[in-house]
Structures are given as C-alpha cells and as structure tokens.
C-alpha cells in the first residue's frame, strides 16, 4: 500500500518544526534581564508616543474649532443625564396630574334612565337658524 500524500500534515509538521526552532533560540533571550529592560523601555516609549499623539490631535482639533472624540463623549454623557432627569420629571408630573385629570373629567349622571344612544341623538333634527330676512310675500289667488 502506498502512503498518501497529505498536504495538511506536511504544513503541520513544518509549523511544528519552525515553532520548536524559534522556542529553542528565543527562550534563553527572553529569560535574560537585558531583554526585560529593553522591552520595558520600548513599552514606555510607545506609551509616551501615544500620549503625545493624543495631545497633538487634541490641539489640532481645538485650532480647527472642531470637537474631538472626548468632547463628543462628554456631550453624549451630559445629554444622557439630561434625558434621565427629564424621564424622572415626567414620571413625577404624571403621578401628580393623575388625580387632577380624574377631577377634570365629568362625573356620570346618577339617573335611573340610561344615557341616550348615539342613534337617538343622530335622529334629532338640527336646530333651525332664524333668518333675519323677512319671508317673501305670497300672492293670494283669486279663488280664496
């Protein structure tokens, strides 16, 4: 039986050999104190560079009179706090206004008759407006 050629197995073996070689050469270097000092200096330099870039960007936006990301975030936080306060005020007003609304509604009449239905109200003719003009005179016929 012939062995089959598996490309994925070849790649796995190659990656495993590369990792083993890097680990063998890098472990003594990573364990040294010199590497730690250099890594610390690089990280502190990167932190200083990032802070400097943020400060320069902030100054640039201020010179252009354009809000920066921090300005937008602060504005958003302030707007959210105002919305929260308005929700609380609205809830308080709703609680205070509930009895007043009930008092403003007309009380149902206390009669033994049921209220008129909509059909009965619709059948009532509308009131006739009195006209100011005098009615026209009619001619009397000769027969009367």
Residues 8-61 pLDDT 10s: 889 999 999 999 999 998 888 888 888 889 999 999 999 999 999 999 988 998
Q: How far apart are CA 121 and CA 116, in angstroms?
A: 7
Q: Contact at 8 Å (CB) between 67 and 75?
A: yes
Q: Which residues have a Cβ under 8 Å from the Cβ of 29 and sit 6 or more positions away?
A: 35
Q: How far apart are CA 111 and CA 68, in angstroms?
A: 70
Q: Per residue in 123-142, pLDDT tens?
A: 656 666 565 555 556 665 55
Sign, CA torsion 115/120/122/126: negative
Kindly report the pTM of this predicted structure: 0.38
| CA geometry: angle 37, 42, 43, nearest 5 deg | 100
The whole-number pLDDT of residue 68 equals: 82
Where do the structural domains in the chain lie, given as residue ranges? Answer: 7-66, 68-104
Is the pLDDT at 113 greater than 80? The verdict is: no
Q: Which residue has the higher pLDDT, 143 or 74?
A: 74
Q: Which residue has the higher pLDDT, 59 or 117?
A: 59
Work out the average pLDDT over 76-99. Answer: 90
144 — pLDDT class (breaks 50, 70, 90): very low
Q: How far apart are CA 6 and CA 111, in angstroms?
A: 97
């Amino acid at each position: 039986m012939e062995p089959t050629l598996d490309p994925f197995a070849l790649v796995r073996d190659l990656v495993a050999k590369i990792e083993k070689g890097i680990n063998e050469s890098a472990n003594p270097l990573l364990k040294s104190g010199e590497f730690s000092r250099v890594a610390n200096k690089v990280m502190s330099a990167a932190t200083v560079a990032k802070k400097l870039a943020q400060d320069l960007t902030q100054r640039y936006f201020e010179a252009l009179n354009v809000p920066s990301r921090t300005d937008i975030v602060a504005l958003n936080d302030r707007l959210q706090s105002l919305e929260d306060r308005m929700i609380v005020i609205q809830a308080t007003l709703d609680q205070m206004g509930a009895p007043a609304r009930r008092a403003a509604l007309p009380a149902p009449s206390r009669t033994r008759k049921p209220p008129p239905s909509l059909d009965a109200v619709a059948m009532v003719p509308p009131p006739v407006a009195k006209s100011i003009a005098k009615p026209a005179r009619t001619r009397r016929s000769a027969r009367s």
